[in-house]
Structure 1
């Protein structure tokens, strides 16, 4: 799909991609597309700004369950090196244990596919994604302290000034 995007579109938008796997994903794009400022390279990144890392990880794990239920996402994450995690998710799905899925979205997986923690850590994470070739990180805000409005306020505050 990434190579096809280079042929027929003006960009590619990933969703919940793995930072560690981004070089392999972007290798499907010709170098001229990767360096073209008019070719969009984006990734939708779930974000939770919080000093409470445990709460942030728990929230993101719950929010990403619906993606883990999708076979195409599990196949991608296996390709990205998360075989054990996705096999455990598949077993939970087969055994009708959807409430167990968040525990299989490990800290390592969350750190590679989401951004969470204090504002400075999240800002550093955005820069890591840019360094990996994502010209347009699309930050999808989540909050342990409130609703979507709260999450947006936290995100704006983190990047203000």
Structure 2
């Protein structure tokens, strides 16, 4: 199983030591480095910065939020970065959720699957540069209907370095996971667990079976972001992860629509997820964190002594996951790489 490095998105400012960690990841032979965005730092700018200091490691977005840019603007960024990096760009896209899409970007959220399908179609047309880009879709029209009536089909002035750039879709629900297998080159899971492998494998198989599907399991990527903490005390290691889980389960989304909550409910922690959400939305964040059992952390992470982590890694190697995306500073990446052996 390959290893990658997930820098993620910034907190209140640039991530300390990020470039040093990226350089260490390349030195260690990691396959890829990934950036993200929510409603602060963007994904493309840091990725270009890291790419300028590296020569081999693949450069991925995990993820670019589709509502943040028109599909042609996203394609322009991917096309540009692919040239500057010598063909190392991997485009990870995601729909995000209604709170961010409508609250931050001011874009409509309904029908995210249909919107994703049209979005990816346009991005691929731009990158291929085989003809002027056109689409008469429900969510996107190129040229735009109405307006001045002067719009005309265009194709990018820049010739692509590669006719295809890998497009991976972030997804948590079964319909979206199936869509990633149908129209994508890979799937970017979040809060994956070996215990949920059968559920997601079935969703992917459904997508692969659809007419026009691009890939099979043999050529499909599944880079999975996973917390790995090498530490003798499992409980202490879990305590470092629980606050983030409480945020996602309890606060990343509305009570009625929180896809992260649903992931853990499907994993068998519905009562826990409900309690965490109730406490978090009531402002009782410490209690929400304390309500998360260590078993939940262990199901979705690799924590504890190196020997324990190596033993548990076997279960991950038997799943659909093709690459583990690690987090941490340069020293942490070295320590984890040694532990994974």
TM-score range, shorter chain: 0.7 to 0.9
CA distance in 1, matches of 2:319, 2:185: 19
Matched-pair contact (CA < 8 Å) for 2:194–2:316: yes
1:47 aligns with one of 209, 228, 232: 228
CA distance in 2, matches of 1:75, 1:120: 32
Q: 1:120 to 1:31 in 2, by over 3 A?
A: farther
Superposed structure 1 runs of 4+ greater than 6 Å apart: none
Instruction: Figure out how many residues of one structure are paired with residues of the other and give that number.
Output: 154
2:217 is paired with a residue whose SS is: coil
Correspondence list, 1:55-74, <5 A: 55-68=236-249, 69-70=251-252, 71-74=258-261
TM-fit CA distance, 1:84 = 1.2
* Greater mean deviation of Cα atoms: 98-107 or 2-11: 98-107
What 5-or-longer segments of structure 2 have no aligned partner?
A: 1-175, 209-214, 253-257
Equivalent position of 2:318 in the other structure:
131
Larger radius of gyration: 2
Matched-pair contact (CA < 8 Å) for 1:126–1:137: no
Q: 1:13 to 1:89 in 2, by over 3 A?
A: same
Query: With CA pairs under 8 Å and 6+ residues apart, which has the higher RCO, 1 or 2?
Result: 1
What 5-or-longer segments of structure 1 have no aligned partner?
A: 142-147
Q: 1:32 to 1:77 in 2, by over 3 A?
A: closer
Aligned residues: CA RMSD: 2.1
TM-fit CA distance, 1:35 = 5.9
1:37 aligns with 2:218: yes
TM-score, normalization by structure 1:
0.84
Correspondence list, 1:99-138, <5 A: 99-138=286-325
- 1:17-37 deviations in Å (ceiling 9; x for gaps): 232112111211128959633
TM-score, normalization by structure 2:
0.42
